[in-house]
Structure 1
Amino acid sequence: MQWNLRMKAAERGIWKSTEMRRLLAEAGVEISAGKMSQLWTGTPNVVRLDELDVICAILDCDPSALLIREPDKVAAKRPTEQQAATAHSIAPVAPRFGPNRSAPPL
């Protein structure tokens, strides 16, 4: 997924993360400076749904405008048929019998 917050904010005339953070606070969502920096400068690992809802309301957009799918990246991560076949041909783990076997707990 590509995170498109800065572009959508720029389209609404919001150029600084501090301004976006202030708008979020006015809407009732307090975001730390560190989390706002992560939202503003990169692709966040986690976005709470209530935060996303308020961001969309401020920017007057849908979540699909902020979260852009990248199917080519997903396809590149998918294992090839040969890799999949190799992964499934791993021998199962067999129990060891004989003198090296550990004793059961007492």
Structure 2
Amino acid sequence: MKWNLRLAAAHREIWKASELQRLLAEHGLVISAGKMSGLWSSTPASIKLSDLEVICVALGCEVTELMTPEPENVTRATQDEAPAARASGQAGPTPTVVPRSRGGRSLPPR
């Protein structure tokens, strides 16, 4: 995803992170200067949906204006990676459960 917060803010004549930080605080989202700097200058690794909603309300925009999909950056698993994905439970049929020997321990009473 491409993060377009600065562009969306610029369309609304907001040119500084501190201006947006004050606007978000007016809408109930208090963000530290460090977190605001991260949102302003780079793509966040994660963002709470509730925070995203406040940003959209404060800027009067839609989520699609803040984030643009970049499908060309999505890679497909190669043939070598496919077995590892299945082993981790990401794809493929469910394995059959086979009981194992209890290793000499006694069975519980019946």
Aligning the two structures, in what range does the TM-score lie when normalised by the shorter sequence? 0.7 to 0.9
Q: Show the counterpart of 1:99.
A: none
Mapping for residues 38-77 of structure 1, pairs under 5 Å: 38-74=38-74, 77=75
Count of residues in Structure 1 that have an aligned counterpart in Structure 2: 88
2:15 is aligned with what amino acid?
W
* TM-score, normalised with respect to structure 2: 0.70
Q: What is the Cα-based RMSD across aligned positions, in Å? A: 2.2
* Percent of aligned positions that are identical: 51
How big is each residue's C-alpha offset from its partner over 1:11-58, in whole Å with a ceiling of 9 and x where there is no partner? 000000000000011111100111101100000012111211111012
Q: Secondary structure at the match of 1:36?
A: helix
Q: Show the counterpart of 2:99.
A: none
Separation in 2, partners of 1:10, 1:2: 16
Q: Show the counterpart of 1:6.
A: 6
Separation in 2, partners of 1:27, 1:88: 48
Q: Secondary structure at the match of 1:79?
A: coil
Separation in 2, partners of 1:30, 1:57: 14
1:54 is aligned with what amino acid?
V
* TM-score, normalised with respect to structure 1: 0.73
Moved over 3 A (4+): none
1:67 is aligned with what amino acid?
M
How big is each residue's C-alpha offset from its partner over 1:59-82, in whole Å with a ceiling of 9 and x where there is no partner? 1111111111000001xx2133x4
2:66 is aligned with what amino acid?
L
1:71 is aligned with what amino acid?
P
Report the Cα offset of residue 88 of structure 1.
Answer: 2.9
Separation in 2, partners of 1:49, 1:39: 14
Separation in 2, partners of 1:79, 1:49: 28
For structure 2, list consecutive stretches of 5 or more residues without a partner in the other structure.
85-102, 105-110
2:45 is aligned with what amino acid?
N
